[in-house]
Chain A
Amino acid sequence: MIRKITAVIISTLFASFTVRAETLVTDLSQSEIQITSQFAGSQLLLFGALERHATESTQTDQLAVQGLDYDIIVVVQSEPTDLVIRKKEKIGGIWINNENETVRGVPGYYVIGSTRALDEFLSPQEQRSLGLGLKNIKVTNDNDMEVGEYKDALIRNMVSKRLYQEDYGNVTVKDEILFRATLDFPSNMPVGDYKADVYLVRDGEVVINHRTDLLVDKIGLERLIYNFAHEFPPLYGIMAILVAISAGLFSGFVARKVT
Chain B
Amino acid sequence: MQIYLPIAELSMNIFVLLAMGGGVGFLSGMFGVGGGFLMTPLLIFSGVPPAIAVATEANQITAASVSGAVAHWRRGGVDFKMGLVLIAGGIVGTYLGAMIFTYLRSIGQVDLMISLAYVIFLGSIGGLMFVESVRSIIRARSGEVQKVVRRQRTWVDALPFKMRFRKSKMYISVILPLAIGALVGILAAIMGVGGGFIMVPAMIYLLHMPTNVVIGTSLFQITFVTAAATYLHSINTQTVDVVLALILLTAAVIGAQMGAVVGAKLKGEQLRILLAGMVLLVCAKMAFDLVVEPEELFSVSAIGAEVSH
Interface set of A (CB-CB < 8 Å, partner B): 35-41, 81-90, 93-97, 100, 102, 149-150, 153-154, 156-158, 160-161, 187-188, 218, 221-223, 225-226, 229-230, 233-234, 236-241, 243-245, 247-249, 251-255, 258-259
Would you call B70 and A249 a contact (CB within 8 A)? yes
Give the size range of B's interface with the partner.
35 or more
Cβ of B240 and Cβ of A240 under 8 Å apart?
yes
Question: Smallest CB-CB separation from A235: which chain B residue?
Answer: B234
A-chain residues with CB within 8 Å of residue B245 when the two chains form the complex: 240, 243-244
A157 & B299 in contact (Cβ 8 Å cutoff): yes
Contacts of B238 in A (CB 8 A): 229-230, 233, 236
- CB pair A85–B11 under 8 Å, yes or no, is no
Binary per-residue interface labels of chain B (64-105) against chain A in the complex, 1 for a CB within 8 Å, 0 otherwise: 111110110000000000000000000000000000000000
The answer to whether B301 touches A83, judged by C-beta atoms less than 8 angstroms apart, is: yes
> With A and B bound together, what is the CA distance between A218 and B6 in angstroms?
8
Given contacts A38-B1, A237-B234, contact A247 B246 (CB under 8 A): yes
Give, as a whole number of angstroms, the nearest-CB distance from B61 to chain A.
8
Task: Choose among B7, B62, B292 the residue that contacts A248 (Cβ–Cβ < 8 A).
Answer: B62
Counted as pairs of residues, one from A and one from B, with CB atoms less than 8 Å apart, the total is: 190
| Set of chain B residues within 8 Å of A160, measured between Cβ atoms | 296
A249 touching B11 in the complex, CB below 8 Å, given contacts A86-B307, A237-B234, A240-B242: no
Pair B300/A157 contact, Cβ less than 8 Å = yes
Judge if B230 is at the interface, Cβ distance under 8 Å.
Answer: yes
Residue pair A229, B246 in contact (C-beta under 8 Å): no
With a CB–CB cut-off of 8 A, which chain B residues contact A84? 108, 300-303
The residue on B at minimum CB distance from A150 is B298
Check A96–B112 contact: CB distance below 8 A.
Answer: yes
Within 8 A of A (CB), among B267-306: 290-294, 296-303
Is B4 close to A, CB under 8 A? yes
Known contacts A38-B1, A38-B2, then 8 further A-B pairs from the complex at CB < 8 Å, ordered by chain A residue: A82-B303, A84-B301, A97-B112, A237-B235, A240-B230, A245-B227, A252-B67, A255-B256
Known A84-B302, A226-B6, A252-B253; judge A234-B63 contact (CB<8 A).
no
B47 to chain A, nearest CB (A): 10
Q: Judge whether A158 and B62 touch: CB under 8 Å.
A: no
A94 to B296, CA, bound (A): 15
B243 interface residue (CB < 8 Å to A): yes
Q: Which 9 A-B pairs have the closest CB atoms?
A: A252-B67, A237-B234, A153-B298, A248-B63, A40-B2, A237-B231, A244-B63, A251-B253, A248-B66
- Which label, helix, strand, loop or mixed, suits the secondary structure of the A interface? helix
How many Å lie between the Cα of A254 and that of B67 in the bound state?
A: 11
Interface pair A86/B253, CB less than 8 Å apart: no
Q: B62 contacts which chain A residues (CB < 8 A)?
A: 241, 244-245, 248
**Given the contacts A153-B298, A157-B299, A97 and B109 also touching, CB distance less than 8 Å:** yes
Given that A38-B3, A38-B4, A85-B300 are known contacts, is A95 also in contact with B294, CB under 8 Å in the complex?
yes
Instruction: Choose one: B59, B60, B257, B290; the contact of A94 (CB below 8 Å).
Output: B290
Q: How far is the CB of A109 from the nearest CB of chain B, in Å?
A: 13
CB pair B234 A229 closer than 8 Å: yes
Q: Please measure, in the bound complex, the distance between the C-alpha atom of A89 and the C-alpha atom of B246, giving whole angstroms.
A: 37
**Chain A residue with minimal CB distance to B246?**
A247
Q: Known contacts A82-B303, A153-B298; is A251 also within 8 Å of B63 by CB?
A: yes
Interface centre among A89, A222, A234, A240 (most CB of B within 10 A): A240
Interchain CB contact (< 8 A) of B2 among A85, A89, A187: A187
Q: How far is the CB of B251 from chain A (nearest CB, A)?
A: 10
